[in-house]
Structure 1
Amino acid sequence: MNSNQLKENEYSPFYKNYITILGDVNLLEILNDSLENLMNTLKDLPEEKLQYRYEEGKWTIKELIQHIIDAERVLSYRALRFARNDTTDLQGFDEDWYVNNSNGNSRDFNELLNEFSLIRKATISLFKSFSNEMLINAGSANGNNMSVRALGFIIAGHQIHHLNIIKEKYL
């Protein structure tokens, strides 16, 4: 499954940047490659970098990683529900609320990276388990149509987007 197979009606316009940032890629390959890229980029950062905010009100690197973890859990849950033909309109989530209530800055950074790695590996397993028919199933999240396969690409693109911000603004 490649990202060029997606149609724009399979995801909300809000997520378009997360799709286009990927280029033409295979879903399982980009999920795996982006995991390795994040781990290799962040594994040896000093503590002062982890607590740095490049601007008042912006998240720290620890908070960003916690956000990526939380978002991946939510998006994977949506993919599971839609793959199982659940047509319930799922609610959105307030990312700022989640970060403010995450305790991310108090966590050990290696534990955060380990948790991200485990979540991503579970996401890869989940998407491997979907048949081609399941991947094109769709549902509604926050009032927007979303396909299962689009959610997979959004997960990867969201993580890459935030890793690019880390590289540009924090490192």
Structure 2
Amino acid sequence: MTISKLSSDEYNPYYQPYIDKVGGGDIHKTLKNNREVVTSFFKGISNDRLSFRYAEDKWTIKEILLHVIDTERVFAYRALCIARQDKTKLPGFDQDAYVAYCHANERTLESLLSEYNNVRAATVSLFESFDDKALTQIGIASESALSVRAVAFIIVGHENHHLQIIKARYL
């Protein structure tokens, strides 16, 4: 499944910047390979920077990582529901409320990365289980159309987006 096969009617335009952050190639391989990229990236950050905020109202690097994990879980659930042709209109989620109660700063980087890798392994397994028909199913999430295959691109693009922010504003 490559990005060239995605159609803009498979997702809300809000997600276009995330999709634009995914390179060409097979998204299944990208989901697997990005796991190593993300893990290496966070392991390369010093402990004192992990709790840094560049402004009072901004998240720490640990909170960003847990936000990426939470978001992947939410989107994987959306993909599962849509692939199984569940017609439930899936709600949005308040990312700031999730971060406020995530307690990421009380956890070790090793704990967060273990969770990240477990969630990614589950996501990879989920997407490998979908056949072509499931991948092209479209449902409603956050009051907009969303295809199963678009979810994979959004997950990778979303984490790439946050890596870019960390590089630009935190390091």
Normalising by structure 2, report the TM-score: 0.97
Look up the equivalent residue of 1:46 and give its one-letter code: S
Q: Is 1:107 equivalent to 2:107 in the alignment?
A: yes
Counterparts of 1:113-132 in structure 2 under 5 Å?
113-132=113-132
SS of corresponding position for 2:154: helix
CA–CA distance in structure 2, aligned partners of residues 24 and 8 of structure 1: 16
Tell me the amino acid that sits aligned with residue 135 of structure 2.
Answer: L
Mark the runs of 5 or more structure 1 residues left unpaired by the alignment. Answer: none
1:21 is aligned to 21
Question: Equivalences for 1:1-150 in 2 at 5 Å?
Answer: 1-150=1-150
Deviates more, 1:34-43 or 1:145-154: 34-43
1:45 CA drift (Å): 2.5
CA contact (8 A) 1:63 1:105 kept: yes
RMSD: 0.9
The count of aligned residue pairs is 171
Correspondence for 1:159: 159
Note the C-alpha offset of 1:35.
1.0
The one-character-per-residue Cα deviations of 1:127-166 (angstroms, maximum 9, x if unpaired) are 0000000000010001100000000110111011111111
Using the TM superposition, give the Cα deviation of residue 170 of structure 1 relative to its aligned residue in structure 2, in angstroms: 1.4
- Equivalent residue, structure 1, for 2:170: 170
Residue 168 of structure 1: SS of its match in structure 2? helix
Q: Which amino acid aligns with 1:26?
A: D
Q: For residue 45 of structure 2, give the secondary structure of its aligned residue in structure 1.
A: coil
- For 1:40 and 1:109, the matched residues in 2 are separated by 12
Amino acid at match of 2:114: N
TM-score, reference length from structure 1:
0.97
